[in-house]
Protein backbone atom coordinates (compact mmCIF):
# COMPACT_ATOMS: atom_id res chain seq x y z
CA UNK A 1 0.00 0.00 0.00
CA UNK A 2 1.02 3.58 -0.58
CA UNK A 3 -0.20 6.61 1.35
CA UNK A 4 -0.21 9.97 -0.43
CA UNK A 5 0.30 12.37 2.42
CA UNK A 6 1.41 15.61 4.03
CA UNK A 7 3.19 15.65 7.37
CA UNK A 8 1.12 18.62 8.57
CA UNK A 9 -2.31 17.25 7.62
CA UNK A 10 -4.26 16.09 10.68
CA UNK A 11 -6.41 13.85 8.47
CA UNK A 12 -3.24 12.13 7.28
CA UNK A 13 -2.09 11.82 10.87
CA UNK A 14 -5.30 10.02 11.80
CA UNK A 15 -4.70 7.48 9.04
CA UNK A 16 -1.03 7.04 9.96
CA UNK A 17 -1.89 6.45 13.62
CA UNK A 18 -4.44 3.80 12.70
CA UNK A 19 -1.92 2.11 10.39
CA UNK A 20 0.68 2.12 13.17
CA UNK A 21 -1.76 0.76 15.76
CA UNK A 22 -2.75 -2.03 13.38
CA UNK A 23 0.88 -2.69 12.42
CA UNK A 24 0.25 -2.26 8.69
CA UNK A 25 3.16 -1.69 6.31
CA UNK A 26 2.94 1.04 3.70
CA UNK A 27 5.00 3.43 1.61
CA UNK A 28 4.69 7.10 2.51
CA UNK A 29 4.66 9.46 -0.49
CA UNK A 30 4.66 13.15 0.47
CA UNK A 31 2.65 15.61 -1.60
CA UNK A 32 2.17 19.36 -1.17
CA UNK A 33 -1.40 19.91 -2.35
CA UNK A 34 -0.88 23.69 -2.43
CA UNK A 35 2.14 23.60 -4.74
CA UNK A 36 1.70 24.64 -8.37
CA UNK A 37 3.14 21.33 -9.55
CA UNK A 38 1.18 19.11 -7.15
CA UNK A 39 0.16 15.71 -8.44
CA UNK A 40 -2.48 15.15 -5.76
CA UNK A 41 -5.33 15.26 -8.27
CA UNK A 42 -3.81 12.29 -10.08
CA UNK A 43 -4.72 10.20 -7.04
CA UNK A 44 -7.78 12.07 -5.75
CA UNK A 45 -9.89 14.20 -8.15
CA UNK A 46 -10.44 16.64 -5.28
CA UNK A 47 -6.68 17.18 -4.98
CA UNK A 48 -6.67 16.37 -1.27
CA UNK A 49 -4.72 14.11 1.05
CA UNK A 50 -4.74 11.51 2.45
CA UNK A 51 -5.20 9.11 -0.41
CA UNK A 52 -4.46 5.42 0.03
CA UNK A 53 -3.37 3.39 -2.98
CA UNK A 54 -4.22 -0.25 -2.28
CA UNK A 55 -2.11 -3.19 -3.39
CA UNK A 56 -4.26 -3.52 -6.52
CA UNK A 57 -3.78 0.21 -7.30
CA UNK A 58 -7.28 1.25 -6.20
CA UNK A 59 -7.26 4.81 -4.79
CA UNK A 60 -9.23 5.38 -1.59
CA UNK A 61 -9.76 8.90 -0.33
CA UNK A 62 -11.23 10.75 2.62
CA UNK A 63 -9.68 9.77 5.92
CA UNK A 64 -12.94 8.30 7.23
CA UNK A 65 -13.20 5.93 4.26
CA UNK A 66 -9.53 4.98 4.56
CA UNK A 67 -9.55 4.16 8.28
CA UNK A 68 -12.70 2.10 7.89
CA UNK A 69 -11.00 0.07 5.18
CA UNK A 70 -7.78 -0.29 7.18
CA UNK A 71 -9.69 -1.67 10.14
CA UNK A 72 -10.73 -4.65 8.00
CA UNK A 73 -7.15 -5.58 7.07
CA UNK A 74 -5.88 -6.81 10.41
CA UNK A 75 -7.40 -8.14 13.64
CA UNK A 76 -4.78 -6.18 15.59
CA UNK A 77 -6.14 -3.20 17.55
CA UNK A 78 -9.70 -3.24 16.28
CA UNK A 79 -10.68 0.43 15.91
CA UNK A 80 -14.38 0.46 14.93
CA UNK A 81 -17.19 -1.73 16.30
CA UNK A 82 -18.74 -3.78 13.50
CA UNK A 83 -22.40 -2.93 14.07
CA UNK A 84 -24.93 -1.27 16.30
CA UNK A 85 -25.01 1.68 18.66
CA UNK A 86 -21.33 1.52 19.66
CA UNK A 87 -20.26 1.76 16.03
CA UNK A 88 -22.51 4.79 15.51
CA UNK A 89 -21.09 6.49 18.60
CA UNK A 90 -17.47 5.91 17.50
CA UNK A 91 -18.29 7.37 14.08
CA UNK A 92 -20.03 10.30 15.77
CA UNK A 93 -16.87 11.04 17.78
CA UNK A 94 -14.92 10.91 14.51
CA UNK A 95 -17.40 13.23 12.78
CA UNK A 96 -17.17 15.74 15.63
CA UNK A 97 -13.38 15.61 15.58
CA UNK A 98 -13.19 15.98 11.80
CA UNK A 99 -15.67 18.86 11.89
CA UNK A 100 -13.46 20.60 14.44
CA UNK A 101 -10.48 20.13 12.15
CA UNK A 102 -12.48 21.51 9.21
CA UNK A 103 -13.19 24.68 11.20
CA UNK A 104 -9.55 25.01 12.29
CA UNK A 105 -8.22 24.62 8.76
CA UNK A 106 -10.69 27.20 7.46
CA UNK A 107 -9.20 29.66 9.96
CA UNK A 108 -5.64 28.79 8.92
CA UNK A 109 -6.43 29.36 5.23
CA UNK A 110 -8.46 32.52 5.88
CA UNK A 111 -5.59 34.06 7.85
CA UNK A 112 -3.29 33.42 4.90
CA UNK A 113 -5.36 35.79 2.77
CA UNK A 114 -4.45 39.50 2.64
CA UNK A 115 -5.66 41.21 5.80
CA UNK A 116 -8.15 43.39 3.92
CA UNK A 117 -9.78 40.29 2.41
CA UNK A 118 -10.18 38.37 5.67
CA UNK A 119 -13.62 38.02 7.23
CA UNK A 120 -13.57 38.41 11.02
CA UNK A 121 -17.17 37.20 11.17
CA UNK A 122 -16.27 34.03 9.28
CA UNK A 123 -13.20 33.41 11.46
CA UNK A 124 -15.18 33.99 14.67
CA UNK A 125 -17.82 31.54 13.47
CA UNK A 126 -15.16 28.83 13.06
CA UNK A 127 -13.70 29.57 16.51
CA UNK A 128 -17.19 29.17 17.88
CA UNK A 129 -17.43 25.70 16.35
CA UNK A 130 -14.08 24.72 17.83
CA UNK A 131 -14.99 25.85 21.34
CA UNK A 132 -18.42 24.19 21.17
CA UNK A 133 -16.87 20.93 19.98
CA UNK A 134 -14.23 20.97 22.72
CA UNK A 135 -16.94 21.51 25.35
CA UNK A 136 -18.94 18.59 23.97
CA UNK A 137 -15.88 16.31 23.90
CA UNK A 138 -14.94 17.32 27.44
CA UNK A 139 -18.42 16.57 28.69
CA UNK A 140 -18.84 13.29 26.82
CA UNK A 141 -15.43 11.98 27.86
CA UNK A 142 -16.00 12.81 31.51
CA UNK A 143 -13.89 10.67 33.81
CA UNK A 144 -13.79 7.69 31.45
CA UNK A 145 -10.40 6.24 30.58
CA UNK A 146 -11.28 6.34 26.87
CA UNK A 147 -13.93 7.99 24.72
CA UNK A 148 -15.88 4.72 24.59
CA UNK A 149 -15.29 3.80 28.22
CA UNK A 150 -12.58 1.22 28.79
CA UNK A 151 -11.61 0.40 25.21
CA UNK A 152 -9.21 2.31 22.93
CA UNK A 153 -10.85 3.04 19.59
CA UNK A 154 -10.91 5.29 16.55
CA UNK A 155 -12.75 7.82 18.71
CA UNK A 156 -9.63 8.29 20.83
CA UNK A 157 -7.43 8.57 17.75
CA UNK A 158 -9.68 11.22 16.20
CA UNK A 159 -9.88 13.27 19.40
CA UNK A 160 -6.14 13.00 19.99
CA UNK A 161 -5.43 14.22 16.46
CA UNK A 162 -7.67 17.26 16.96
CA UNK A 163 -6.00 18.22 20.22
CA UNK A 164 -2.56 17.77 18.69
CA UNK A 165 -3.52 19.98 15.76
CA UNK A 166 -4.76 22.71 18.07
CA UNK A 167 -1.43 22.60 19.90
CA UNK A 168 0.36 22.77 16.54
CA UNK A 169 -1.60 25.60 14.91
CA UNK A 170 -3.57 27.30 17.71
CA UNK A 171 -1.56 27.38 20.95
CA UNK A 172 -3.38 30.59 21.85
CA UNK A 173 -6.60 28.64 22.39
CA UNK A 174 -5.10 27.06 25.55
CA UNK A 175 -7.80 24.39 25.49
CA UNK A 176 -6.39 22.59 28.56
CA UNK A 177 -7.49 25.46 30.81
CA UNK A 178 -11.16 24.58 30.37
CA UNK A 179 -10.91 20.88 29.54
CA UNK A 180 -9.22 18.89 32.32
CA UNK A 181 -10.71 15.60 31.11
CA UNK A 182 -9.38 16.09 27.59
CA UNK A 183 -6.05 17.27 28.99
CA UNK A 184 -5.69 14.09 31.04
CA UNK A 185 -6.68 11.91 28.11
CA UNK A 186 -4.40 13.66 25.63
CA UNK A 187 -1.43 13.33 27.98
CA UNK A 188 -1.99 9.57 27.99
CA UNK A 189 -2.50 9.36 24.23
CA UNK A 190 0.67 11.34 23.61
CA UNK A 191 2.70 8.54 25.20
CA UNK A 192 1.60 6.03 22.58
CA UNK A 193 4.28 5.34 19.98
CA UNK A 194 1.81 5.92 17.15
CA UNK A 195 1.26 9.48 18.36
CA UNK A 196 4.95 10.11 19.05
CA UNK A 197 5.93 8.99 15.55
CA UNK A 198 3.36 11.21 13.81
CA UNK A 199 3.79 14.57 15.56
CA UNK A 200 3.21 17.19 12.82
CA UNK A 201 6.26 19.01 11.53
CA UNK A 202 6.75 21.88 9.12
CA UNK A 203 9.13 20.81 6.35
For 59-83, what is each residue's pLDDT tens digit?
999 999 999 999 999 999 999 999 8
Q: Where do the CATH 3.40.30.10 domains begin and end in the chain? A: 2-70
In CATH terms, 2-70 corresponds, of 3.30.365.10, 3.40.30.10, 3.30.110.30, 3.40.50.720, to 3.40.30.10
pLDDT at 201 over 90: no
Model pLDDT, residue 47: 94
Model pLDDT, residue 203: 56
84-192: CATH topology is Glutathione S-transferase Yfyf (Class Pi); Chain A, domain 2 (1.20.1050)
Model pLDDT, residue 55: 95
**Residue % of the chain over a pLDDT of 90:** 96
**Residue % of the chain over a pLDDT of 70:** 100
3-state secondary structure of 197: coil
pLDDT at 106 over 80: yes
CB 15 within 8 Å of CB 79:
no
Q: What is the mean pLDDT of the chain?
A: 96
Q: Where do the CATH 1.20.1050.10 domains begin and end in the chain? A: 84-192
Average pLDDT over residues 111-137: 98
Distance in angstroms (rounded) separating the CA atoms of residues 197 and 89:
27
How far CA 185 is from CA of 99, 128, 156, in Å, comes to 20, 23, 9
Question: For the ranges 41-50, 114-123, 194-203, which has the lowest average pLDDT?
Answer: 194-203
Half-sphere exposure of 151 (CA within 13 A, CB side): 11
Which of these, 10, 21, 80, lies nearest to 49 by C-alpha position?
A: 10
Distance in angstroms (rounded) separating the CA atoms of residues 40 and 76:
30
Peptide bond into 99 cis (omega under 30): no
Distance in angstroms (rounded) separating the CA atoms of residues 95 and 101:
10
Distance in angstroms (rounded) separating the CA atoms of residues 193 and 69:
22
pLDDT at 109 over 90: yes
Model pLDDT, residue 159: 98
Amino acid sequence: MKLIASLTSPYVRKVRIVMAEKKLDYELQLENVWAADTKASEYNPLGKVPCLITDDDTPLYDSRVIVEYLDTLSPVSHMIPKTGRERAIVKCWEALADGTLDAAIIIVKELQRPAEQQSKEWIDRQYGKIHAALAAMENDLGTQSHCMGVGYSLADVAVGVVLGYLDFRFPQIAWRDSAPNLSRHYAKLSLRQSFIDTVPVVS
